[in-house]
Amino acid sequence: MCGIVGYIGKREAYPIIIKGLKRLEYRGYDSAGVALLNGGLKVFKKKGKVSELEGSVSADATKSNLGIGHTRWATHGEPNDINAHPHVSQNGKLAIIHNGIIENYQSLKTELEQKGHKFKSQTDSEVVIHLVEEILLNNSCSLEEAVRLALNEIIGAYAICVISEDDKSQLIAARKGSPLVIGIGDGEFFVASDATPIIEYTNNVVYLDDYEIAIIRDGELIVKSIEDVIKTPFIHKLEMELESIEKGGFPHFMLKEIYEQPKSIRDCLRGRLIATDSHLNLNGMLQFMNKFTNAERLIFVACGTSWHAGLVAEYLFEDIARVNVEVEYASEFRYRNPVIRENDIVVAISQSGETADTLAAIEMAKSKGATIFGVCNVVGSSISRASHAGAYIHAGPEIGVASTKAFTGQVTVLTMMALILGLKKGTLTENRFRELIFALDQIPNKIQKILDDTSSVKKIAETFQFAKNFLYLGRGYNFPVALEGALKLKEISYIHAEGYPAAEMKHGPIALIDEDMPVVFIAPKDSTYEKIISNIQEVKARKGKVIAIVTEGEKDIFNMSDYVVEIPATEECLQPLLSSIPLQLLSYYVAINRGCNVDQPRNLAKSVTVE
Ligand code: M6R
């Protein structure tokens, strides 16, 4: 959480930083700030969005070629002007921005207070700049050395940038556990939490690794380890297009990303699936094929929506590849001392590739000998780099906080993996394999069909916009979709929603049903069809309002439901790729009708880089 941006070069830093912070607002948006070097150090901080900060920055301060900026998602200390970053040292000469959590900040703070340091904020971050200052005071060393020594005392996660009034040609950055990318321009450098603030200026980037410090001085970049050993940075070429991080005519990123799904899934399948040749391949799986075929168990670890994709994977891999599957919340798995064997494969699913719990879970599993396979969206992200192998979902940047195209991208990759493994293990016949890859190839067109007529979803959203609760029910492959539908609704519209396996309703949630309760049944025609009809009857008998997602042309559920949304028919194992789309749209339109900020819902951030 939190977005950080820094610039050093020939241009004015301020507009670059502000634009960059707006691109990073998805990471947190409860306060923002900048520090600029113009004459002396000038710091401006404001509670609220970056746009509110803009009004408070004095014009003369903006004439600076060196600056750092921060957009915050509060952990320690409430969102207010004082707790906003940058934080400055006691003498007012040093400034820091920080993304992460300093776990031992309290003990460091107490020690520094005993030495006379006075703290202004309640944050953990402020302690770092006081520590750097204290080291500078006591050792006649360079700023770079002081930062390095300070980081050696810190426990926790950080991506930081530090600047000093005493050296206007220097910016120092470092990371451990929180992402940091450095853009290399012509005599200029950009530092950011991800590549989106950089892409407009340069394609050449260095992803800083954990325990690395970047010293950018006099037009030169030096990367060192925290032990002071010089490293040779690898320069990556960014392939991201600028349009992919803009709204492209849509009112919100979320809606744009929902509508991008036919394309994002085609991009995900491109070069991997050629239905007419019965060809399906994931390069990342190739070198580990023996591990996959011999694996006794696949353990999927993830959080939030990515965890729901993991639940879909449980059905896919058990059904198609006949392998034992466990699906774990990364935050529980990492602390549970789980039994992990060497022939277990741990599949980490993460859009951002930066989720702290998922990253820690795979590090723990790796240390116990498991093979790690990453399914990520963000290229070069921490989880993708910490994995032994993996497959990107190629969905393009997902900026809306509510995950949409990343979910369908994850499910697409997981489906391909299950099909490849099923064929290899012989649990799937060649004929069935061919049928399924033909069906998978058709998914983008079928999603397009759903998106071409959203009138029924809009009507339902209008009808139920004032509902206080929603229940989402599904069976089999559509149970994870029920969970995902409920999560989408609660995170952007703030309506309480629960997802359940439809048959579980009788064991408790049925008590909630009355004439005010909308119940969304994800009920396309599949092997659970007859059973779900009974569940619908149970809701109707208690006067609940039935909203059903049904297969086109289906009559029974259509006739017994109060509202229906039709989706095209597909193979049962591919249904989540279609049935999730109307639920994304439903949450979007309900939230819009309620006047909610769908791209930046309250209390949430896109990347959860703290545990
Ligand atoms: O980047 P990740 O996929 O690891 O993120 C996991 C969750 O934080 C994320 O899916 C979150 O639940 C979304 N807001 C859901 O829309």
Kindly report, residue by residue over 482-511, the tens digit of the pLDDT. Answer: 999 999 999 999 999 999 999 898 898 888
At residue 215 the predicted structure's pLDDT band, cuts being 50, 70 and 90, is very high
212-217, strands of its sheet edge to edge: 87-88, 94-102, 156-164, 167-176, 212-217, 220-225, 230-231
CATH architecture observed for domain 2-243? 4-Layer Sandwich (3.60)
- Residue 180: closest CA among 34, 27, 62: 27
Mean pLDDT on 297-301: 97
Rounded distance from Cα 388 to ligand 1 centre (Å): 22
CA 218–ligand 1 middle distance (angstroms)? 39
Q: Provide the β-strand partners of residue 216.
A: 171, 221
**Do 247-441 and 451-611 come out as alike in CATH topology?**
yes
Residue with tokens 């891999």: 317
Residue owning tokens 């490849």:
420
Span from the CA of 453 to the centroid of ligand 1 (angstroms): 28
| pTM for this entry | 0.80
Strand order in 371-376's β-sheet?
324-329, 297-302, 344-350, 371-376, 389-392
Residue 246 has pLDDT above 80, yes or no: no
How far is Cα 171 from Cα 477, in angstroms, rounded to an integer? 51
Judge if the beta carbon of residue 587 lies within 6 A of ligand 1.
Answer: no
What is residue 554's predicted lDDT score, i.e. its pLDDT?
A: 92
Please tell me if the CB atom of residue 330 comes closer than 6 angstroms to any atom of ligand 1. Answer: no
Between 160 and 76, name the one with better pLDDT. 160
Nearest CA-CA partner of 244 in 305, 194, 199? 199
When pLDDT is cut at 50, 70 and 90, the band that residue 151 belongs to is very high
Question: Rounded distance, CA 554 to CA 569, Å?
Answer: 10
Closest atom of ligand 1 to 383 CA is: 4
pLDDT(611) > 80: no
Which range, 11-15, 55-59, 175-179, has the best average confidence (pLDDT)? 11-15
- 6 within 8 A of 25, measured Cβ to Cβ: no
pLDDT of residue 228: 95
The arrangement of secondary structure in 247-441, i.e. its CATH architecture, is 3-Layer(aba) Sandwich (3.40)
Indicate the pLDDT class of residue 73, thresholds 50, 70 and 90: confident
* Minimum CA distance residue for ligand 1 atom 14: 402
Q: Which residues are known catalytic residues?
A: 2, 606
State both tokens at 38.
Answer: 């113009």
The predicted model gives 573-581 an average pLDDT of: 98
What pLDDT is attached to residue 25? 87
Task: Give me the mean pLDDT over the 555-567 stretch.
Answer: 95
State the Cα–Cα distance between residues 190 and 64, nearest whole angstrom: 14
Q: What angle do CA 383, 389, 394 make, to 5 degrees?
A: 70
* Residue 31 bridge partners (DSSP): 47, 72
CA–centroid distance, residue 118 to ligand 1 (Å): 38
Greatest mean pLDDT among 17-26, 38-47, 96-105, 447-456 lies in: 447-456
The predicted structure's pLDDT at residue 78: 85
Alpha helices, DSSP H only, in 287-404? Answer: 289-294, 304-321, 330-333, 356-367, 382-386
Is residue 64 within 6 Å of ligand 1 at its C-beta? no
Model confidence band, residue 220 (pLDDT cutoffs 50, 70, 90): very high
Confidence of residue 148 (pLDDT cuts 50, 70, 90): very high
User: Are the C-beta atoms of 38 and 226 separated by less than 8 Å?
Assistant: no
Determine the pLDDT at residue 349: 98
Q: What are the structural domain ranges in the chain?
A: 2-243, 247-441, 451-611
| Ligand 1 contact via 401 beta carbon (within 6 Å) | yes
Closest CA to 459 of 339, 563, 303: 563
Give the whole-angstrom CA distance, residue 174 versus residue 165.
19
The per-residue pLDDT for 244 is 73
Single-letter amino acid code for the residue at 9:
G
Q: Report the CATH fold assignment for 451-611.
A: Rossmann fold (3.40.50)
Check whether 181 has a pLDDT greater than 80.
yes
Is the C-beta atom of 378 inside 6 A of ligand 1?
A: no
